[in-house]
Amino acid sequence: MAPDERAFRADVERPTFRLGQLAGRWRLSTIEWPYIQIGVTAKDEREFVLRFNCAGFPQSPPTAGPWDPELNQILAFDKWPRGQGGRLSAVFRPEWKGGSALYVPCDRESIIGHENWAVEMPAKIWKPAAGICHYLEIVHELLNCRDYAELLRPAA
């Protein structure tokens, strides 16, 4: 097993990851190195699966985008989490990198060309010691923030 895969598998054994999983905040689905599928729960209890590419973990940041596990492809854009023009909308951008990466500072693909983020939002820059939970905390917070548009349910 390569060092990056070994490091990732150790990371998801840490209590912080396990506690998040027990609390229903996220759920490890599959590991097909370097691709990892993890579901993240939104405030309306919908689960959005992200497919991470974790090559080089943890020194190299991961990159991730919404994924359709059944079709094994990027999630259809009309099924992406919807925002109302605020913080979530700024991150879940189907046009960004063809939908393969979230527009967040802790994402390997998105940080390229955005060195200003290190100064403007240092709390969201990838931190190898914090591991995959750092990325998951940011996504979970967004899926539970005011900007997230909840799924409309039919009246009872």
Partner 1 sequence: MSTIDVFYQGEGFREIEFLAVEPTATFGAVKALIVEKHGLDESVLIFLEDEDEPVAELVIIGDIVDTFGIKAHLHKCRHIAVTVTFNGETVSHSFSPSKTIAAIKTWAAETKFGMTKEEASEHVLQIAGSHDRPTAGTHIGQLAKCPSCHLALDLVPDQRVNGAPSGGN
- The residues, ordered by sequence, that sit 6+ positions from 36 with a Cβ below 8 Å of its Cβ are 8, 28, 30, 51, 52, 54, 62, 132
110 touches partner 1 (CB under 8 A):
yes
Closest distance to partner 1 from the beta carbon of 93 (Å): 7
Rule CB under 8 A: choose which of 120, 128, 149, 150 binds partner 1.
120
For the segment 16-35, give every residue that binds partner 1 (CB under 8 A): 16, 18-19, 22-23
Tokens 């919908």 correspond to what residue? Answer: 46
Scan for tokens 């689960």, then name that residue. 47
Q: Which of residues 43-72 bind partner 1 (CB under 8 A)?
A: none
Q: How far is the CB of 90 from partner 1 (least distance, A)?
A: 5
Strand partners, 41: 47
Which ranges of the chain would DSSP assign to H, the alpha helix?
3-11, 15-22, 87-91, 117-120, 132-142
Point out which span in 1-9, 34-42, 72-80, 84-92 binds partner 1 (CB under 8 A): 84-92
CB 51 within 8 Å of CB 109: no
105 binds partner 1 (CB under 8 A): yes
Give the distance from CA 93 to its chain's centroid. 13
Which residue bears the tokens 């579901």?
A: 39
Q: Which of 11, 57, 81, 137 binds partner 1 (CB under 8 A)?
A: 137
Q: Which of 12, 28, 74, 145 binds partner 1 (CB under 8 A)?
A: 145
Residues that bind partner 1 in the complex, under the rule CB under 8 A: 14-16, 18-19, 22-23, 86-87, 90-91, 93, 95-98, 101, 103-105, 109-110, 114, 116-117, 120-124, 133, 137, 141, 144-146
